[in-house]
C-alpha cells in the first residue's frame, strides 16, 4: 500500500500541557479514514493541520508525494466540509458551489455553470442553483457543503463531524449515502467523529486518538476484537473492565486488567456467581446487570429470556482481552 496522504511525525504544541502528536499516518489513495476520539483528543487539530488551517510545529505532511506542510490552505487543494457547513449566507446555492471554480467571465461562465450542475446532480440536488441556503433543510445544507467542497476537484476531502448537525433519525441514512457518494467519486477522505457507529459505518479504517496521540489505526473489526490498548478497548464498544480479585476470578494473572465484552459473557451452570439486578430489553436481546460475589457489576448481553431480575446466576467468559495494569 502506497501512502497518498502522509503525516510524518507531525507535532503541534498548544500549551505546556496540551499537544498533538508526534503523529504519523499513512492513508492510501481512495481510502476513507475516520479520526475517532473523545473531545479534546486532538482529532479536529489533525484535520485542521491537514487542511492548512493550523501550522505544524514539527513534522511533514505529504499529499501525492508533494510536501504541503508550508502550503497555505488556499493552494493546498483540500476540500473541506465544516461542522456547521459554513455556507455563505449572502450567496445562493449555485454561487456557493461555484465559489471555488475559477473563471467567472462570460466565456468560462458556461463551463462553471455546467460544473455546478454536475456536482449538484451528484449530491442529488439537481436544479437547486437559485435556492437560498437559508431555505434548505439541514440535510440539504450538508449536501451543498459537500458539493461546494467537491466542485474544484480537490485531491483530498476533509470532513469535520459531517453528521453531527443532522437529527438522529436522518443520520444513519445520510451516513450510507455519504459513503456511497465518496466511493463513487473515489476521493481520499478523512473525517472527524466522536461517535463509534459513525466511524465504523463510514470509514474504511479508523484512527483512534487519545490526548493527542494515535492509539491504534485499524479496521473496525480489528479495533473491536484486538484493541491495542485498554483505552481503545473501552472507548470502542461496550466493555466490562476487571481488576484485581475479579480479574483473577476470570483467569487473569497478577497485575493484569481484563476486558470482557458483554456478548462474550454467558449464563452457565458454573463460573462467577452473581445476582441479576437489572434487565434492559432491546428487542433481539437484552442487557443484564449482574452483581458478582467479588463485588463487581458486569454487563451481559444475552437472549431476552435468559434470566430474570433477582435470579442467581453463574457467568462464564467466552473470551477476555488482557492488558498489563501499567498501560491503563
Residues in touch with another protein (CB under 8 A): 51-53, 72-80, 82-91, 99-100, 102, 133-134, 148-149, 152, 158
Identity of the residue, 53 or 287, whose beta carbon is nearer to another protein in the bound complex: 53
Shortest distance, position 237 Cβ to another protein, whole Å = 32
Helix (H) or strand (E) holding 57: none
| 76: Cα separation from own chain's centroid | 23
**Main-chain phi, psi angles of 49, to 5 degrees:** -65, -40
Identity of the residue, 39 or 134, whose beta carbon is nearer to another protein in the bound complex: 134
Identity of the residue, 46 or 149, whose beta carbon is nearer to another protein in the bound complex: 149
Which residues touch 305 (CB under 8 Å, ≥6 apart)? Answer: none
Q: How many CA atoms lie within 13 A of 86 on its CB side?
A: 13
CA dist., res. 8 & res. 5, Å (int):
10
Identity of the residue, 95 or 325, whose beta carbon is nearer to another protein in the bound complex: 95
Residue 257 in contact with residue 271, Cβ under 8 Å?
Answer: no
Query: How many Cβ atoms sit within 10 Å of the Cβ of residue 45?
Result: 24
Shortest distance, position 84 Cβ to another protein, whole Å = 4
Helix (H) or strand (E) holding 27: strand 19-28
Residue 270, SS3 per DSSP:
coil
Identity of the residue, 51 or 274, whose beta carbon is nearer to another protein in the bound complex: 51
Shortest distance, position 96 Cβ to another protein, whole Å = 9
Shortest distance, position 172 Cβ to another protein, whole Å = 23
Shortest distance, position 128 Cβ to another protein, whole Å = 16
Identity of the residue, 134 or 282, whose beta carbon is nearer to another protein in the bound complex: 134
CA dist., res. 237 & res. 196, Å (int):
8
Shortest distance, position 89 Cβ to another protein, whole Å = 5
Residue 7 in contact with residue 23, Cβ under 8 Å?
Answer: yes
What spatial distance separates the first Cα and last Cα of the chain, rounded to whole Å?
A: 32
Shortest distance, position 161 Cβ to another protein, whole Å = 12
CA dist., res. 80 & res. 74, Å (int):
11
Identity of the residue, 22 or 139, whose beta carbon is nearer to another protein in the bound complex: 139
Amino acid at each position: 500500500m502506497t501512502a497518498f496522504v502522509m503525516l510524518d511525525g507531525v507535532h503541534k504544541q498548544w500549551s505546556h500541557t496540551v499537544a498533538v502528536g508526534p503523529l504519523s499516518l499513512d492513508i492510501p489513495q481512495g481510502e476513507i479514514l475516520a479520526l475517532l476520539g473523545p473531545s479534546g483528543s486532538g482529532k479536529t487539530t489533525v484535520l485542521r493541520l491537514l487542511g492548512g488551517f493550523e501550522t505544524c510545529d514539527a513534522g511533514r505532511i505529504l499529499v501525492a508525494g508533494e510536501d504541503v506542510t508550508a502550503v497555505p490552505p488556499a493552494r493546498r487543494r483540500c476540500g473541506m466540509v465544516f461542522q456547521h457547513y459554513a455556507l455563505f449566507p449572502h450567496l445562493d446555492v449555485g454561487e456557493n458551489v461555484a465559489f471555488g471554480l475559477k473563471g467567472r467571465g462570460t466565456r468560462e461562465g458556461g463551463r462553471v455553470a455546467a460544473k455546478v450542475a454536475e456536482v449538484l446532480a451528484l449530491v442529488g440536488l439537481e436544479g437547486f442553483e437559485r435556492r437560498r441556503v437559508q431555505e434548505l433543510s439541514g440535510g440539504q445544507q450538508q449536501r451543498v457543503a459537500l458539493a461546494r467542497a467537491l466542485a474544484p476537484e480537490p485531491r483530498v476531502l476533509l470532513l469535520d463531524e459531517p453528521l453531527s448537525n443532522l437529527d438522529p433519525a436522518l443520520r444513519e441514512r445520510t451516513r450510507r449515502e455519504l459513503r456511497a457518494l465518496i466511493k463513487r467519486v473515489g476521493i481520499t477522505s478523512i473525517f472527524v467523529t466522536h461517535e463509534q457507529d459513525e466511524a465504523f459505518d463510514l470509514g474504511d479504517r479508523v484512527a483512534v486518538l487519545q490526548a493527542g496521540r494515535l492509539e491504534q489505526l485499524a479496521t473496525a473489526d480489528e479495533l473491536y476484537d484486538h484493541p491495542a490498548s485498554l483505552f481503545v478497548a473501552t472507548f470502542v464498544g461496550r466493555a466490562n473492565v476487571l481488576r484485581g480479585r475479579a480479574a483473577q476470578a476470570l483467569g487473569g494473572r497478577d497485575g493484569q486488567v481484563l476486558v470482557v465484552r458483554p456478548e462474550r459473557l454467558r449464563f452457565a451452570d458454573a463460573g462467577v456467581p452473581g445476582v441479576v439486578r437489572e434487565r434492559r430489553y432491546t428487542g433481539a436481546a437484552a442487557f443484564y446487570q449482574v452483581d458478582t460475589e467479588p463485588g463487581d457489576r458486569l454487563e451481559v448481553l444475552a437472549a431476552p429470556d435468559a434470566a430474570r431480575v433477582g435470579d442467581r446466576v453463574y457467568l462464564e467468559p467466552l473470551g477476555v482481552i488482557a492488558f498489563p495494569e501499567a498501560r491503563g
